[in-house]
Structure 1
C-alpha cells in the first residue's frame, strides 16, 4: 500500500490528478483550508508546478466543482421524465453530501462551471423530451432552484459551517426556550411531534432527508399536474 501511494505521488501531474487531490483535501479539512501551497505539498511538487494545470485558485475551485458534478448519475435514455429527474436530483444530493463544501462553492460563483451548465442543460432537456413547453420548463427550473443540484438552504447553511471549520458536523440542536415556545405554540408543537434526526442541520425535530424528499416529491407532483393541464404563464396585456 505504501509503495502504491509512493508511486502515485511520483506520477506525472495532470489536471485531473490536481483537481482530485484538491477535492480530497477540501473534503478532509474544509474549503477554507485549501491553498495552492498545501495542495502542492500534498502532491509532493513545488507550487509553481500546479500552474501548468490550473491558472489560479478560482480555476482550481471551478474544476473541483466539475469533478463533484461529474459524480452525478447520467440520465437513462428513454426513461420517463419524472423518475429520471427525481433519481438524478437525489444522486446530486448524495454527491454533495460526500463533498460538504461544494454547495457553498457553487453558490458563491458568479458564473456556472461547464459541468454545472451541462447538468442543467441535460435536466432541461429531460423536461423538454417529456413534452414540457419551453415556458413551463423555464418556470420549473426556477421553482426547483438549488434543489435541482441536490441541496437546499438548510444544507447550504451546514456547508457554510463545514467550509469554515473543516468539519461537516452541524452544531447540536437546542430546545426552544420556554418564552419562544409560548409565543409560537404551533412551532413548538411541530418540533415536539416531528421525527428526530440527531444529524439534522435545520433544528431539533427535523429529518433532513425526509424533508428534502418530501419537498422534492411535492414539487414534482405539482409540476406533473401543471404539465397535464397544459399550463402556460400568465401574459400581461399592453
Structure 2
C-alpha cells in the first residue's frame, strides 16, 4: 500500500501541531498557513494534508490541543462544584495562553475531541442537577462567560486576573442556579 506524502515525510499529527504552535507564536494568526507550517517542518505543503484537512482543521486542532491539559470532572463529582471547577480551570488555562484567546472567541470555542469530552462531562453534571433539555444552552452560556472573562483578563484592563476570576466564579454560580431554578 503506498504511503501518503505526510507519511513519506515522516510527519505525525503531533509534529504538525508543534510546528503550528511555533509558527503561531512567532508570526501570529496572519502568519499561520499550511505553507508556513510546512516550511517550519521542512516539507512540501501537501505533506500536511495527511494530518490536517485544511487551515480551519489546523486551527481547530491547535485550539483543542490546548484544552487537552484540562481533565473533565468525573461523573460522580458534586455537579455545581464540578461545573465551576472546570470553568475556572479553563479560565486559568486561557490566561496561560493569552495569544489564543482571540482565536477561541473568533471560532466560538474549540471543536475537537478534548472540547467534546469537556462538554459531555458538563452535560452529565447538568443532568444530575435536573437540566436535560437545555443542557447544551447552559454549557454554551458557561463557556461564553468563561471566554468573556478570559478576554477581559488578557486585555490591557484595569481589573486584575484575581478580581476577574472571582467575578467569574460568582457569575458561574448565578448561571448554574438560574439553569436549575
Task: Report the TM-score range of the alignment, normalised by the length of the smaller protein.
Answer: 0.7 to 0.9
User: Which of 152, 159, 167 is the matching residue for 2:148?
Assistant: 152
Residue correspondence of structure 1 range 3-22 to structure 2 within 5 A: 12-22=10-20
Selected match of 2:164 from 211, 215, 231: 211
| 1:118 counterpart residue number | 117
Does the 8 Å CA contact 1:93/1:151 hold for their aligned counterparts? yes
CA 1:64–1:226: 2 relative to 1, 3 Å: closer
Q: Which residue of 2 aligns with 1:58?
A: 56
Report what 2:3 is aligned to: none
Q: As a proportion of its length, which structure holds more helix?
A: 2
What displacement does 1:111 show? 8.9
2: CA distance, partners of 1:56 / 1:138: 28
Residues 34-85 of structure 1 show CA distances to partners (whole Å, capped at 9, x for unaligned) of: 1222212222222221122122211111111221122222213422012211
Q: Distance in 2 between matches of 1:72 and 1:114?
A: 13
**TM-score, scaled relative to structure 2:** 0.75
Question: Structure 1 residues 94 and 26 mapped into 2: Cα distance closer, same or farther (>3 Å)?
Answer: farther
Alignment of 1:87-166 (within 5 A): 87-109=85-107, 113-115=111-113, 116-129=115-128, 131-135=129-133, 137=135, 140-141=138-139, 143-147=141-145, 150-152=146-148, 155=151, 158=154
| 1:18 CA displacement | 0.5
* More divergent stretch after superposition (19-28 vs 108-117): 108-117
Residue 87 to residue 57, structure 1, CA distance change in 2 (3 Å): same
Distance between the aligned counterparts of 1:111 and 1:218, measured in 2?
A: 19
For the aligned residue pairs, the C-alpha RMSD in angstroms reads: 3.0
Contact 2:64 2:110 (C-alpha < 8 Å) held by counterparts: no
- 1:24 matched to 2:22? The reply is yes
TM-score (norm 1): 0.60
1:44 aligns with one of 39, 42, 45: 42
- Whose Rg is larger? 1
Aligned length: 172
1:219–1:111 distance in 2 versus 1, CA, 3 Å: closer
Partner SS for 2:130 = coil
For 2:86 and 2:109, how far apart are their aligned partners in 1? 22
- How much does 1:110 deviate? 7.3
Q: Which runs of 4+ in 1 moved over 6 A?
A: none
Q: Distance in 1 between matches of 2:135 and 2:27?
A: 38
Give matches, 1:225-236, under 5 Å: 227=180, 231=181
Deviations 1:131-173, CA, capped at 9 Å, x for gaps: 22325645533542413xx421661695xxxxxxxxxxx5xxx
